[in-house]
A and B are shown apart, each in its own frame.
Chain A
């Protein structure tokens, strides 16, 4: 197992490097330069391009970038926060986004699991229909509609929770955005749990466990849910991706200083270094989640672990 994990980590690092290369090439295809402001003359643009080393050949730029990146230097922002180290921007904004994303996953998964289990146990009942209804609403309405609705109701009408992000509010500041973001997670997890649980509950294996006299909570959570969760874990990866997209919008509505807002701005203003750095951060995050999923998968389902160990030496 240890060997497998080590190998898996090595592979992830290699993947990340390939991604950086691909991103770097993609970036060269982007039309426009960061310095096409109306007020700059062609000569001044040239000066700026050479100041930031953008007139060097692509391989030169690439190796310089990777070299600097290893020391934590992601270059400077050209337009969003002029002349500022991108690493400084990340340092300020990444923790906020991670916290928000983490809270949303946690909130959504717990709610989704409960909803899914309830629906599966009361299959074809009113409760099941209600659960289906909730989860359908969750995936059918974009998170920004939720966000504004929540903000209007709890922030403006009832004044229970802050409408705008303020670092002084601590976790309270995250309440509304996290709920808005977690709707998709909840819905997806609930759907998936329901399907998986129904399948597991009907399996011979469960009948065996049941006949052994294992009962109640233990039966559901230890045996049934454990089996169902193997498949649920696989959707964690895509969920993280959908959270990234959702956060771009929700961060804007609640004025949260996170990386989602930064990303949209960077793309719209051709801030190459910020796009590259953020794309890298998103990629690293995703790959980390996939790595965790793979390892968890192995822990939870011994058959897969064995198969993998066999396959990977």
Chain B
């Protein structure tokens, strides 16, 4: 047990030597006088994961825009007779997959059904992701839902950056009474379960995208403020901050110019994490019945909706779960790339 670990440590030592070499290279780059953003871009581009993440997000966003247009169905169009149809995709259907047939595990034995063969004119019908219990095209609904979830992701990051980060930094930086008052208020706000605050808000405002946005704005930033405060506490006593202060730098300038770049990476990761939690807040609201109003869809509400058919029509829950998971994976990989590019202490690793 000891040995492999020792090796690990040795590997680490090797890492450290490597570090030094790269540092020199960066100095060179500065001499080339590339702009800050150009450098950044170069560094991000070196990280395969982040490139993958970026491409996936672009692709998903692209599909969210285009998918509902090219599917040939409306997201709320209920086609009588088309209820609960399994996916059928041209070309692939010839290979024996996605040909619209599904196996129902009925209590009296397994039953293979293909609704495309039994409905009138079914030969010409294609539902790439299948249909839901009301006969709506899931391909269209998945991409419509992605739009909403991307919007919520955007709201979450904006709220995190503008409210959470500033709140935490100010609280941590000034400390003392300011910190005390700000932290007590956060505790009161956070101490009340989200569910109560959000439910109340939505019942009072009527369910809708606006109320969900507001609900996330009111409660979503608290986690971020905690992390940014903790980071601030760690850094504000460091030598370079003391140095900046002795040189007469203003508080705002110290916070945003000296400290922020050092903690931004960590905060960015945290804000990437608030994306799933925001999307889940929305999904949770859908679960208790006060999410995005039907027949509109979000990835979260699609999962909640199709969850009820998990043991009967498994294929229904797959597309939203897959898109959501892919979206999260991409955001995480991109976040990693961004951190590596932004954080001066870690860029060489």
- Interface residues, chain A, CB within 8 Å of chain B? 11, 14-16, 18-19, 22-23, 26, 29-31, 121-124, 132-133, 136-137, 139-142, 144-145, 148, 152, 188, 191, 195, 198-199, 201-202, 207, 210, 215-217, 219-220, 231, 234-235, 237-238, 241-242, 244-245, 248-249, 263-264, 267-268, 275, 278-279, 282-283, 286-287, 290, 303-304, 307, 311-312
Other contacts beyond A19-B188, A245-B281: 11, CB < 8 A:
A19-B191, A29-B200, A121-B12, A136-B332, A142-B283, A202-B16, A237-B190, A267-B288, A278-B193, A283-B191, A290-B187
> At the interface with chain A, which of B2-10, B112-120, B150-158, B252-260?
B2-10
- Interface residues, chain B, CB within 8 Å of chain A? 1-2, 5-6, 8-9, 12-13, 15-16, 19, 175-176, 179-180, 184, 187-188, 190-197, 199-200, 203-204, 222-223, 226-227, 230-231, 233-234, 237, 266, 269, 273, 276-277, 280-281, 283-284, 287-289, 300, 303, 307, 310-311, 317, 321, 324-325, 327-329, 332-333, 336, 339, 345-346, 349
Most buried by B among A29, A30, A198, A202: A202
Q: Are A121 and B303 in contact (CB under 8 A)?
A: no
Q: Given the complex, which residues of B lie within 8 Å of A283, measured CB to CB?
A: 191-193
Q: How far in angstroms is the closest Cβ of chain B from A56?
A: 22
Determine the distance from Cα of A307 to Cα of B227 in the docked complex, in whole angstroms: 17
Determine the distance from Cα of A29 to Cα of B196 in the docked complex, in whole angstroms: 12
Q: Are B287 and A249 in contact (CB under 8 A)?
A: yes
Determine the distance from Cα of A268 to Cα of B8 in the docked complex, in whole angstroms: 54
Determine the distance from Cα of A195 to Cα of B5 in the docked complex, in whole angstroms: 19
Q: Given the complex, which residues of A lie within 8 Å of B233, measured CB to CB?
A: 304, 307
Q: Are A122 and B345 in contact (CB under 8 A)?
A: no
Q: Given the complex, which residues of B lie within 8 Å of A220, measured CB to CB?
A: 5
Determine the distance from Cα of A94 to Cα of B128 in the docked complex, in whole angstroms: 46
Q: How far in angstroms is the closest Cβ of chain B from A303?
A: 6
Q: How far in angstroms is the closest Cβ of chain B from A190?
A: 11
Q: Which one of A216, A241, A248, A311 contacts B179 once the chains associate, using CB atoms below 8 Å? A: A311
Determine the distance from Cα of A121 to Cα of B1 in the docked complex, in whole angstroms: 15
Determine the distance from Cα of A244 to Cα of B204 in the docked complex, in whole angstroms: 23
Q: Given the complex, which residues of B lie within 8 Å of A16, measured CB to CB?
A: 191
Q: Offer 29 A-B interface pairs, CB within 8 angstroms, sorted by A.
A: A11-B184, A16-B191, A22-B192, A26-B200, A29-B200, A30-B203, A121-B12, A132-B333, A133-B329, A136-B325, A141-B321, A142-B303, A145-B303, A148-B307, A195-B339, A198-B349, A201-B12, A210-B9, A215-B9, A216-B2, A231-B231, A234-B226, A237-B190, A244-B195, A245-B280, A249-B287, A263-B195, A279-B192, A282-B192
Q: How far in angstroms is the closest Cβ of chain A from B199?
A: 5
Q: Given the complex, which residues of A lie within 8 Å of B6, measured CB to CB?
A: 215-216
Q: Given the complex, which residues of B lie within 8 Å of A215, measured CB to CB?
A: 2, 5-6, 9
Determine the distance from Cα of A123 to Cα of B346 in the docked complex, in whole angstroms: 12
Q: Are B325 and A142 in contact (CB under 8 A)?
A: no
Q: Are A216 and B5 in contact (CB under 8 A)?
A: yes
Q: Given the complex, which residues of A lie within 8 Å of B8, measured CB to CB?
A: 121-122
Q: Given the complex, which residues of A lie within 8 Å of B339, measured CB to CB?
A: 195
Q: Given the complex, which residues of B lie within 8 Å of A198, measured CB to CB?
A: 346, 349
Determine the distance from Cα of A188 to Cα of B273 in the docked complex, in whole angstroms: 8
Q: Are A139 and B9 in contact (CB under 8 A)?
A: no
Q: Are B269 and A237 in contact (CB under 8 A)?
A: no
Known: A30-B200, A267-B196, A311-B176. A132 touches B226 (CB 8 A): no
Q: Are B349 and A202 in contact (CB under 8 A)?
A: yes
Q: Are A286 and B16 in contact (CB under 8 A)?
A: no
Q: Are B226 and A237 in contact (CB under 8 A)?
A: yes
Q: Given the complex, which residues of A lie within 8 Å of B345, measured CB to CB?
A: 199, 202
